[in-house]
Chains A and B, each alone.
Chain A
């Protein structure tokens, strides 16, 4: 029983990170209808930038994080600007364009930081707390708390502010939103910037849990993305739930089967996708023929 609770605690802290990554995917998807495959590498860049300011420049962790958030937001703006000619025209091409950006970001990271990873110390003393026999570390608590704050702020922004509503309008109907005075281009740019900023937070938080390396994006990104889809793509609460589920699946499939954890995770995910979708035409069923 305690073993089970322990596994859940471990799964929840990674799950919180996946949920953040998933939210970054979701906010771009719900605004532009695009899956940003470079998102994973933005997470990685966010992690590296934070680590660089924190360890090399010896700035406080919070300041390093803020700098990383600002930098990745600018990166997000740049990506959106380059891909803007394809918006609303060919999403498959745009998707491949983001894969191209991912490759570029990864190679930039290798050029700047080398191809070997860095271990990162936790920014606060990592004290194990015993809660009813289960061990929870202070850093795990920090990860969950920061993630929760970001999620709540984002949710309030999208749901309660004019700008957030305008972004949703842009997502639902480009033309109608434009007619109502929403600057769709700006809404898209904002979505990219916010998505990338959240990615940086996720990257900064996950650094001390894992290991920061140029290739770290692949695993975190794919799981975060899968989480976003599992929860219902484009939905913020869905992203959170999906992220937590993925953290838990992963926590439970490590242990005796750890060599096959990825296999189990992705096969379960593929099956879930096949069951959840309805109709042979997937998303296109809703088209008016």
Chain B
């Protein structure tokens, strides 16, 4: 059971009854609002969820509309046949615009996509196929037996049904595994890759989702207005869409819907004063980012929290959130034993890493036996984290080889290594900040490859079934680590010690055979450090191999069975803790660095 607020069903009811109160022109405006809302939800998915700065959304909208117009008006296709083709065309354009996202992000992506959008508009204006500046007229209406879709009111209900479907799809996607992975990628693409997410595929998927919704709205637009021209899909519309998403709240589908209604209604009801309302929506955008970064959605939730009475809501039974689970609870994810016993779990052979002339790793070799807790120590800047980055696939080594359970994995990417059984934590904590604690674990726990998202098309119910099972397992893991009380808290709101523990939970959720912990004790209290030592022993007890970088000697000496010491990118000593502690090289490396530090001061 979940409780559903009354606001959203009420909104749907109002939308359903609305045409009764609208004259023909206002009904037309209402249909336009819904079409823009569909396009804006597409932008919300790619930008709000996926974190991709896409300034070409209007071009996807335009592709859908123009493709449909050309196929029906110029080539005489049946509009229903042309529609899927036009939507595919919009997805294809989105895919092409998304390609640069494989290489560039943030403002670079913004300008590349904006440039492509300008190019698109100039092609529309200049090509003969698109009718040049005058556009394409005489687009046929959508034929439907018994229903006249040239009638604004009938069209209203067609678009309302599509909008409801699109909203449901967007909410479904954002609340389940695909949306979670997109949001994880938005929050921290490096950490997302380290838990097994294929970043390139997901960036493109985000764009295709945006193209899909843009295309759907484009087709509906073409057969509503029955005339398309370049200025309908230019930068002005792009910025209007952007304003909807920003003012609505970047990752809130409902917020975007409301913002679309407000902005388009303002535009068309203040006709003749268009410049003023452009001024107003520009100013609103500035005001939103400065004063209410989470947009209307953020304002709404803040207001709701301060209400003197609880927000009216009704309980709704949902099949994937039964309060009482039938049968035994599924087991928490746990580290695995390596596929075959014997031989080192990790073997690093002569690995070097060069950064523009700085040799961070210089022929490092080490072997870690399966089921061992192995410490890596060394002064700051000795290359410990670089070694982890090479072993976990974040850096490609400049030389040498890395073997995982005897298999050569040199040069594999982070997501491949995650799937091969390597999990890690980060020195400077890289949680998915705007995901909840539970979601952070879920992202890593879900080991399905990207193509498994075909389930969204082939059997949405199986997505829900898996969701239910994964949630139960994730909660079991959180309970084991004492984090279940904070399961629905945003990760960024946790106290520091719990954030560190959550990172370990996230690493374990992937059921790794090798766990890399980068300074897990940094900033922990003495009590928390004891608990950490216990967790490390438990990870090994479950069969995994643990590599731990740590400056805290009590912890290292207490839990590690073997230790490797790095200095200046080289291995200077290796052996059991007691041996290493008395090694002359090690003493010199530490004291040497101390004197060097004093000299520097």
The reply on A274 being an interface residue by CB < 8 A is yes
- Which 10 pairs, one residue from A and one from B, show the smallest C-beta to C-beta distance? A103-B282, A100-B285, A259-B126, A266-B115, A104-B282, A262-B122, A100-B286, A35-B107, A107-B278, A107-B279
Instruction: Kindly list chain B residues whose C-beta atoms are within 8 Å of the C-beta of A218.
Output: 118, 235
The reply on B398 being an interface residue by CB < 8 A is no
Closest residue on chain A to residue B99 by CB atoms = A274
**Contact partner, B290, options A37, A83, A103, A233, Cβ 8 Å:** A83
Determine the distance from Cα of A284 to Cα of B103 in the docked complex, in whole angstroms: 11
One of B426-434, B450-458, B535-543 contacting the partner: B426-434
Instruction: Kindly list chain A residues whose C-beta atoms are within 8 Å of the C-beta of B290.
Output: 82-83, 85-86, 97
Closest residue on chain A to residue B288 by CB atoms = A100
Chain B positions within 8 Å of A, measured between CB atoms, are 51, 53, 99-100, 102-108, 110-112, 114-116, 118-119, 122-123, 126-127, 189-190, 193, 199-200, 235, 239, 242-243, 246, 275-276, 278-279, 281-286, 288-290, 293, 385, 388-389, 394, 413, 426-428, 430, 518
> Which of A110, A262, A277 counts the most B-chain CB atoms under 10 A from its CB?
A262
Determine the distance from Cα of A211 to Cα of B424 in the docked complex, in whole angstroms: 58
One of A59-67, A87-95, A169-177 contacting the partner: A87-95
> Which of B115, B200, B243, B388 counts the most A-chain CB atoms under 10 A from its CB?
B115
Determine the distance from Cα of A289 to Cα of B199 in the docked complex, in whole angstroms: 17
Determine the distance from Cα of A101 to Cα of B288 in the docked complex, in whole angstroms: 12
Determine the distance from Cα of A149 to Cα of B100 in the docked complex, in whole angstroms: 36
The reply on A152 being an interface residue by CB < 8 A is no
The reply on A180 being an interface residue by CB < 8 A is no
> Which of A95, A261, A289 counts the most B-chain CB atoms under 10 A from its CB?
A289
Determine the distance from Cα of A88 to Cα of B114 in the docked complex, in whole angstroms: 24
Q: Are B427 and A103 in contact (CB under 8 A)?
A: no
Determine the distance from Cα of A219 to Cα of B235 in the docked complex, in whole angstroms: 11
Q: Give me 12 A-to-B residue pairs in the complex whose CB atoms sit less than 8 angstroms apart, sorted by A's number.
A: A97-B289, A107-B276, A110-B275, A229-B108, A233-B108, A259-B126, A266-B112, A273-B100, A277-B103, A282-B108, A284-B105, A284-B189
Determine the distance from Cα of A222 to Cα of B118 in the docked complex, in whole angstroms: 9
Q: For residues 93 through 147 of chain A, which have their beta carbon under 8 Å from a beta carbon of chain B?
A: 93-97, 99-108, 110-111, 115
Q: Are B115 and A222 in contact (CB under 8 A)?
A: yes
Taking the closest CB of chain A, its distance from the CB of B413, in whole angstroms, is 8
Contact with B along A195-218 (1 / 0, CB 8 A): 000000000000000000000001
Q: Are B199 and A280 in contact (CB under 8 A)?
A: yes
The reply on A193 being an interface residue by CB < 8 A is no
Determine the distance from Cα of A277 to Cα of B290 in the docked complex, in whole angstroms: 31
**Contact partner, B246, options A96, A106, A226, Cβ 8 Å:** A96
Determine the distance from Cα of A166 to Cα of B286 in the docked complex, in whole angstroms: 29
**Contact partner, B104, options A37, A261, A273, Cβ 8 Å:** A273
Instruction: Kindly list chain B residues whose C-beta atoms are within 8 Å of the C-beta of A259.
Output: 122, 126-127
Known A86-B289, A97-B289: A263·B282 in contact at CB below 8 Å: no
Closest residue on chain B to residue A262 by CB atoms = B122
Determine the distance from Cα of A262 to Cα of B518 in the docked complex, in whole angstroms: 49
Q: Are B108 and A96 in contact (CB under 8 A)?
A: no
Determine the distance from Cα of A219 to Cα of B426 in the docked complex, in whole angstroms: 43
Determine the distance from Cα of A225 to Cα of B100 in the docked complex, in whole angstroms: 17
> Which of A97, A105, A265, A283 counts the most B-chain CB atoms under 10 A from its CB?
A97
Instruction: Kindly list chain A residues whose C-beta atoms are within 8 Å of the C-beta of B243.
Output: 100, 103
The reply on A53 being an interface residue by CB < 8 A is no
Determine the distance from Cα of A282 to Cα of B275 in the docked complex, in whole angstroms: 38
Q: Are B119 and A288 in contact (CB under 8 A)?
A: no
The reply on A270 being an interface residue by CB < 8 A is yes
**Contact partner, A281, options B115, B190, B388, Cβ 8 Å:** B190
Instruction: Kindly list chain B residues whose C-beta atoms are within 8 Å of the C-beta of A270.
Output: 99-100, 112, 115-116
Known A82-B290, A97-B289, A259-B127: A91·B118 in contact at CB below 8 Å: no
Determine the distance from Cα of A226 to Cα of B117 in the docked complex, in whole angstroms: 14
Taking the closest CB of chain A, its distance from the CB of B197, in whole angstroms, is 12
Instruction: Kindly list chain B residues whose C-beta atoms are within 8 Å of the C-beta of A262.
Output: 118-119, 122-123
**Contact partner, B126, options A82, A106, A260, Cβ 8 Å:** A260
Q: Are B103 and A282 in contact (CB under 8 A)?
A: yes
Known A100-B282, A262-B122: A35·B110 in contact at CB below 8 Å: yes
Instruction: Kindly list chain A residues whose C-beta atoms are within 8 Å of the C-beta of B200.
Output: 280
Taking the closest CB of chain A, its distance from the CB of B82, in whole angstroms, is 24
Taking the closest CB of chain A, its distance from the CB of B525, in whole angstroms, is 25
Taking the closest CB of chain B, its distance from the CB of A247, in whole angstroms, is 16
Determine the distance from Cα of A106 to Cα of B288 in the docked complex, in whole angstroms: 19
Q: For residues 245 through 289 of chain A, which have their beta carbon under 8 Å from a beta carbon of chain B?
A: 259-263, 265-267, 269-270, 273-274, 277, 280-284, 287-289
Instruction: Kindly list chain A residues whose C-beta atoms are within 8 Å of the C-beta of B100.
Output: 270, 273-274
Instruction: Kindly list chain B residues whose C-beta atoms are within 8 Å of the C-beta of A111.
Output: 275-276, 279
Determine the distance from Cα of A63 to Cα of B237 in the docked complex, in whole angstroms: 37
Q: Are A283 and B103 in contact (CB under 8 A)?
A: no
Instruction: Kindly list chain B residues whose C-beta atoms are within 8 Å of the C-beta of A95.
Output: 53, 106-107, 110
Known A100-B283, A284-B189: A289·B119 in contact at CB below 8 Å: no
Instruction: Kindly list chain A residues whose C-beta atoms are within 8 Å of the C-beta of B285.
Output: 96-97, 99-100, 103
Q: Are A280 and B282 in contact (CB under 8 A)?
A: no
Closest residue on chain A to residue B238 by CB atoms = A99
Q: Are B110 and A266 in contact (CB under 8 A)?
A: no
Determine the distance from Cα of A158 to Cα of B100 in the docked complex, in whole angstroms: 33
**Contact partner, B427, options A85, A91, A104, A289, Cβ 8 Å:** A289
Instruction: Kindly list chain A residues whose C-beta atoms are within 8 Å of the C-beta of B385.
Output: 288-289
Determine the distance from Cα of A106 to Cα of B293 in the docked complex, in whole angstroms: 23
Instruction: Kindly list chain B residues whose C-beta atoms are within 8 Å of the C-beta of A104.
Output: 279, 282-283, 286
> Which of A93, A103, A260, A263 counts the most B-chain CB atoms under 10 A from its CB?
A103
Known A99-B285, A218-B235, A289-B426: A269·B112 in contact at CB below 8 Å: yes
Instruction: Kindly list chain A residues whose C-beta atoms are within 8 Å of the C-beta of B430.
Output: 289
Q: Are B278 and A106 in contact (CB under 8 A)?
A: yes
Q: Are A280 and B111 in contact (CB under 8 A)?
A: no
Q: A82-B286, A218-B118 are in contact. List 8 more A-B contacts (CB 8 A).
A: A35-B111, A107-B279, A115-B275, A269-B112, A273-B100, A274-B102, A281-B199, A289-B426
Q: Are B282 and A107 in contact (CB under 8 A)?
A: yes
Instruction: Kindly list chain B residues whose C-beta atoms are within 8 Å of the C-beta of A82.
Output: 286, 290
> Which of A99, A273, A277 counts the most B-chain CB atoms under 10 A from its CB?
A99
Determine the distance from Cα of A225 to Cα of B199 in the docked complex, in whole angstroms: 27
Taking the closest CB of chain A, its distance from the CB of B233, in whole angstroms, is 14
Taking the closest CB of chain B, its distance from the CB of A82, in whole angstroms, is 6
Instruction: Kindly list chain A residues whose C-beta atoms are within 8 Å of the C-beta of B119.
Output: 262-263, 265-267
Q: Are B118 and A94 in contact (CB under 8 A)?
A: no
Determine the distance from Cα of A268 to Cα of B461 in the docked complex, in whole angstroms: 44
**Contact partner, B239, options A103, A108, A219, A263, Cβ 8 Å:** A103
Determine the distance from Cα of A198 to Cα of B281 in the docked complex, in whole angstroms: 27
Instruction: Kindly list chain A residues whose C-beta atoms are within 8 Å of the C-beta of B122.
Output: 259-263
Taking the closest CB of chain A, its distance from the CB of B218, in whole angstroms, is 20
Q: Are A289 and B190 in contact (CB under 8 A)?
A: yes
Closest residue on chain B to residue A269 by CB atoms = B115
Determine the distance from Cα of A104 to Cα of B283 in the docked complex, in whole angstroms: 6
Determine the distance from Cα of A110 to Cα of B274 in the docked complex, in whole angstroms: 10
Q: Are A93 and B108 in contact (CB under 8 A)?
A: no
Taking the closest CB of chain A, its distance from the CB of B381, in whole angstroms, is 11
Taking the closest CB of chain B, its distance from the CB of A18, in whole angstroms, is 13
Q: Are A101 and B107 in contact (CB under 8 A)?
A: no
Instruction: Kindly list chain B residues whose C-beta atoms are within 8 Å of the C-beta of A274.
Output: 99-100, 102-104
Instruction: Kindly list chain A residues whose C-beta atoms are within 8 Å of the C-beta of B276.
Output: 107, 111
Q: Are B106 and A91 in contact (CB under 8 A)?
A: yes
